Structure 1
């Protein structure tokens, strides 16, 4: 039997390979388990390969996200911050996560500046972000952000511009206003004459509207009478831009129609009820920013807006302070200081309406006759008048007008057409029939207003048979009017103008007047003017004048003029200083002489809080005239009678609960102090806009307590509002507390009072202040260490107005309860 041979070298190599394979297999298993564990902790990336390619941060996830819902139909609601093109959109928004897809309502995306008008929402009203063209996103769970990259054409332009502070709701109190203008005239010379006259307005206002009456009374040599002028009731609704007038009023009109006075009913759209509303087409000033930038808007070289803009398209919705043509320059400055400037031509025409806006006025009533002479003179036949304007496009405003009275029927149409930055063209035509006769009216015009050159061409002609309401019963018959005006500006303070007017009607006759004019300014003090004219329709009618005005400082100015009309030459020299708006003295003097006249004039006026007062003396040739005049108003409101200056629009009656001499401010400007009864009437307030009224709390008594020292109010037109600053009085005192050894209590203790319930913190030197105390009080003070003490505190309420200092008051530990 032969012995076994030892293993060969190949067998040993095979066994070594098997051992290595088993080791590698174990290593692979361990590595596979480790990779599975790592994969389990890697966030699920939103399936969006283009975004991963364009955003390196998206290609290598670095955040840890919760596992996605196992079922794609399972919904998870997340509140996330939105980052669009690297810029945060502010407040977080709500999204739904279904699997790895995100959904949002259209408003959420629109608020983030993402356009959704070209994407159809699902049945639940939500939009899948994956369905929006050229939009890529990723979910950052650690920062709770949804990071979105979107193309500019898929973004909504950011609206930039200074935000107008929202006005409070316009309100009206209830009260009565009496405006007056009283004058006394004494004339002497060839004869002596005295005349006394009073114009007055009686106005009752309430939340239900305004009832108003005006008239004039004249008493003099051989005459004494009162003439009623206008009586009307008006009601306005600012939210609907609606106004109703009942009584005497003026009809609505267009540039090619004539308004008339009438008595009746009028309804109209009233854009003045919202003064901040821009009714004309605003030019589109737009741009686009690649990175966060600062944006500045210049119009004709003047800065009109400055702000910041996030990446993406933007529009500047800032109404330019401009009428006519101009150039807007938009300057973008990025974070590295690089600037890009874009120029845009503009043309602003305030006579047009923005697209979709309309304006109307409709009247029915009776034509007013002999206005200012007879109190109750109306035509016997009723009339109707209606006017409508509509912004068909931003460049096209349509107009129409119709009226009827007796046998008269009149109607017409017109338009204003914007022709880019080259100006505006207006066209109109109307026809009428009256008493069997018919006629027509035609009107055309062109207007261009530029920074250095302006032209206005207007022509209106009526055929002989044309009639309108203004021509009824002997009224003025219109024939034609042609007008051409050109203005040329040289530098920034020199201007030349040429105008030609050819007009004819049955009252003034026919005139054809050519006028040449110049006006200029030298420095900040000197200004000049000169003009000449000639009427080519009348022989010998020509003239001209030259003048200079100089500002002398201190609100004083002086002027000199020389005028020649035909063969008569007149020279005048004058100086004046008007009274300050806040009150004070003003004066004026004048002297002049002509070919057959001499004039001397002097006046002094004083403006007070209760009215304006003026005295004048004049000598013209041989007649001396002296005049005394007073204008102002009396108001009954809030149970008090208050005198003031003339109240033509809104006003406010301020009450400080009987506290006198409190300064009152309007828009941070002192307008007066409250009277002895704690009232002040603030005139000259703008209706339907925010007016800020403040009082100076430092002028209040030391014991006065006020919740607010500022109020924002918006009065209705010709009405007043009651502004009440409710004042309360402190009925308390400062009290110093000591312990049984006479040492001040340590600071920091909490003191409470019974029965009033007032509380305070003990300060240094054991002093505590209580804003309300009764005649007998029990004060309990708890110290920082938990120990407490009790003090009896008597108080005299009559001493509260002096803010008394009481003490020292002993605060002793409470007595132990009996066993």
Structure 2
């Protein structure tokens, strides 16, 4: 069979071929070619469909044997064509691997009420007092109503009664990373303003709603593989990814890995022939930046809170409004803006964070304010560079006399200037060194300056040694020295010995601690110290014992100093009302799950394969300490489950909302199967192979096994079975319920003649 191809206006005769094609080792399917004078020809469009590009010439017909950068092997017997092309000729899209794409976890709805409490009583000679902290929280999926307060009692006239701390109502929209709060909260500050307590309304970005979202720029690496290859990514010497790549260009992300500072990435490509190619990339990354195109913002309006912890409803009379925003303009530049406004007051400014390649991070901001007709300015500048061993940084702030932010408007003075410098070095053999310098000045107050030098090292797996010296560079110019030696023989116990000396005094401290087990138990702490001041030696000490239980934590202790003994006792925990049941638990700071096993008690429950507890007599267990909007793995270990129970699933993901609970159901059910031995009226075993069926005609057909054994799956207690024996029919009534304690074994059952 002949075929005609047109090339540069001429007509060429050739033999048509349908060949199986591989390009750089990758299968590309069947394509049409022609064999002309012993050479392989094809049309330009076929060449493009193979993912190959040729820019030379305009001819529609191409001879593969004559193209630069192309090598071909034609196997006539197998009708296969192997093409080996240089990487720059491959036009298929770049293969992406390990590119981190976050998948937000959808929180399951849940409704309930939580009361956290912490009560402490103190007795000192003739004085006694009691303090109680309470948090009442109602949650309904992504809505939380919260109130906190302190109750104080005392045998002296002061500090009695209840003081409200914070009350708030919040709604969250996880898909938008957005939270709206009504009530008491904290303002969102900038680098040139400070946070304050407020009452009012606040709305803005809440990254806690999507904990799997990486907001900082992640490094990615570009390359090209001539042949299908295996790729390994190492960051700072640790393997972060291993996978397969097709031939052609590729982009490899760093996945979940985070690098704070300067580091090194290495790509190792191993192609199908075993040839190894290594590519090194220097990288510098920082969480101070947000990735390109990502925005974070907030806005609030309300009144400044005053006397927090002392009064319940003390708010400034003049309302204010403020807004803050950050935007990743590029992966190396993040910009920020902030504004505040109130009666006779305004503040605004802008700032930026810049990654200067491998040279570190530069940040700066400019702000201005107007309060009561007076204008002020503030400027900040910062620089930082770090890697695995070294870190250096500088921060500088200068504010004019009349510069003000909301905190100053509320009565807190703003510093006139602040300088911070730090440097550090970390070595496995030499230990960690640190040098810090701080200088700060407030209006009408003498400048405060000090320098600190520190060193600490792990002498062995159980011993740590630390030395720290401080020098005041202003005022009294005191000098102090701290020496600490710590011994930790295991995870629960540690002994710490420290000595401190300064100009006019010295002290020594011995602290011995055993932490209470996480699963519950007793812990204790003993602290002794000796100090002298003007030749007056003072020996003092304190001790406490703690008990951590499933329903809360108790503590008691004594403190002896200055010939005065003070004793205290305390207890803290929580009460949870959910799914019609009341539970006592340890203090619940974040989120939790209520595990239900369909009323079956004593079912063991694990969190991330660590035993947490067992269900109560109602078949429920409160599991605390979970992370909001994350996939917390809750499971049941079948090895601890009696054989009399069936489970449809062993693992479930508990995804609670912020400070809320979620109901996790495990369909645990008692086994309904029965195993029996069928005998007739005379005590003889019913013959094997006898057909068995339910009398009502429903359900599957069954048969008697050897020795009269009959296994009834999904048995119906009390139902009638019909046996079609050769000697005639008989009937048997199933026991009223399965014998759970015998795993469904019900022994001999008599099949009576009709």
Compute the TM-score of the two structures, normalised by the length of structure 1.
Answer: 0.79
Q: Does 1:343 align with 2:285?
A: no
Task: Give the alignment partner of residue 234 of structure 2, picking from 287, 298, 301.
Answer: 298
Quick one: structure 1 residues 287 and 102, their matched pair in 2 at CA, closer, same or farther if it must change by over 3 Å? closer
Q: Does 1:590 align with 2:533?
A: no
User: Aligned residue for 1:601?
Assistant: 542
Task: Give the alignment partner of residue 234 of structure 1, picking from 146, 160, 170.
Answer: 170
Q: What is the CA-CA distance between 1:61 and the residue it aligns to?
A: 4.8
Q: Secondary structure at the match of 1:604?
A: strand
Instruction: Measure the CA separation in 2 of the matches of 1:666 and 1:311.
Output: 43
User: Aligned residue for 2:128?
Assistant: 194
Instruction: Measure the CA separation in 2 of the matches of 1:45 and 1:640.
Output: 84
User: Aligned residue for 1:705?
Assistant: 646
User: Aligned residue for 2:35?
Assistant: none
Q: Does 1:771 align with 2:714?
A: yes
Unaligned stretches of 5+ in structure 1?
1-35, 50-57, 65-81, 119-129
Check the 8 A contact 1:167/1:714 in 2, yes or no: no
Instruction: Measure the CA separation in 1 of the matches of 2:188 and 2:466.
Output: 36
User: Aligned residue for 2:668?
Assistant: 727
Q: What is the CA-CA distance between 1:291 and the residue it aligns to?
A: 2.7
Q: In the comparison of the two structures, how many residue pairs are matched?
A: 713
User: Aligned residue for 2:734?
Assistant: 795
Instruction: Measure the CA separation in 1 of the matches of 2:209 and 2:364.
Output: 29
Instruction: Measure the CA separation in 1 of the matches of 2:665 and 2:194.
Output: 46
Task: Give the alignment partner of residue 111 of structure 2, picking from 157, 167, 174.
Answer: 174
Q: Secondary structure at the match of 1:380?
A: coil
Q: Does 1:245 align with 2:187?
A: no
User: Aligned residue for 1:265?
Assistant: 201
Instruction: Measure the CA separation in 2 of the matches of 1:45 and 1:294.
Output: 43
Instruction: Measure the CA separation in 2 of the matches of 1:742 and 1:138.
Output: 80
User: Aligned residue for 1:334?
Assistant: 271
Quick one: structure 1 residues 441 and 695, their matched pair in 2 at CA, closer, same or farther if it must change by over 3 Å? same
Check the 8 A contact 2:516/2:546 in 1, yes or no: yes
Instruction: Measure the CA separation in 2 of the matches of 1:45 and 1:319.
Output: 56
Quick one: structure 1 residues 359 and 62, their matched pair in 2 at CA, closer, same or farther if it must change by over 3 Å? closer
Q: Secondary structure at the match of 1:169?
A: coil
Quick one: structure 1 residues 656 and 741, their matched pair in 2 at CA, closer, same or farther if it must change by over 3 Å? closer
Determine which structure has more spread, i.e. the larger CA radius of gyration.
Answer: 1
User: Aligned residue for 2:449?
Assistant: 512
Quick one: structure 1 residues 139 and 773, their matched pair in 2 at CA, closer, same or farther if it must change by over 3 Å? farther
User: Aligned residue for 2:605?
Assistant: 664
Q: What is the CA-CA distance between 1:658 and the residue it aligns to?
A: 2.2
Check the 8 A contact 2:718/2:737 in 1, yes or no: no
User: Aligned residue for 1:629?
Assistant: 570
User: Aligned residue for 2:629?
Assistant: 688
> Which structure shows the higher strand fraction?
2
User: Aligned residue for 2:425?
Assistant: 488
- Residue deviations 1:624-650, cap 9 Å, x none? 122212121110001000011111111
Q: What is the CA-CA distance between 1:754 and the residue it aligns to?
A: 3.9
Q: Does 1:206 align with 2:145?
A: no
Quick one: structure 1 residues 301 and 770, their matched pair in 2 at CA, closer, same or farther if it must change by over 3 Å? closer
- Residue deviations 1:477-506, cap 9 Å, x none? 331111111112234661211111111225
Task: Give the alignment partner of residue 527 of structure 1, picking from 457, 464, 467.
Answer: 464
Check the 8 A contact 1:731/1:797 in 2, yes or no: no
Q: CA RMSD in A?
A: 3.9
Alignment of structure 1 residues 376-455 onto 2, 5 Å: 376-455=313-392
Check the 8 A contact 1:750/1:761 in 2, yes or no: yes
- Residue deviations 1:686-732, cap 9 Å, x none? 11111111123454454433322221121111000011223334445
User: Aligned residue for 2:699?
Assistant: 757
Q: Secondary structure at the match of 2:310?
A: coil
Check the 8 A contact 2:105/2:210 in 1, yes or no: no
> Which structure shows the higher helix fraction?
1
User: Aligned residue for 1:10?
Assistant: none
Check the 8 A contact 2:18/2:79 in 1, yes or no: no
Compute the TM-score of the two structures, normalised by the length of structure 2.
Answer: 0.86
Q: Secondary structure at the match of 2:358?
A: helix
Instruction: Measure the CA separation in 2 of the matches of 1:499 and 1:792.
Output: 91
Q: Secondary structure at the match of 2:110?
A: coil
Instruction: Measure the CA separation in 2 of the matches of 1:351 and 1:184.
Output: 44
Instruction: Measure the CA separation in 2 of the matches of 1:159 and 1:350.
Output: 24
- Residue deviations 1:22-66, cap 9 Å, x none? xxxxxxxxxxxxxx5xx7xxxx999999xxxxxxxx9995769xx
User: Aligned residue for 1:674?
Assistant: 615
Instruction: Measure the CA separation in 2 of the matches of 1:801 and 1:553.
Output: 44
Quick one: structure 1 residues 781 and 325, their matched pair in 2 at CA, closer, same or farther if it must change by over 3 Å? farther
Check the 8 A contact 1:293/1:335 in 2, yes or no: yes
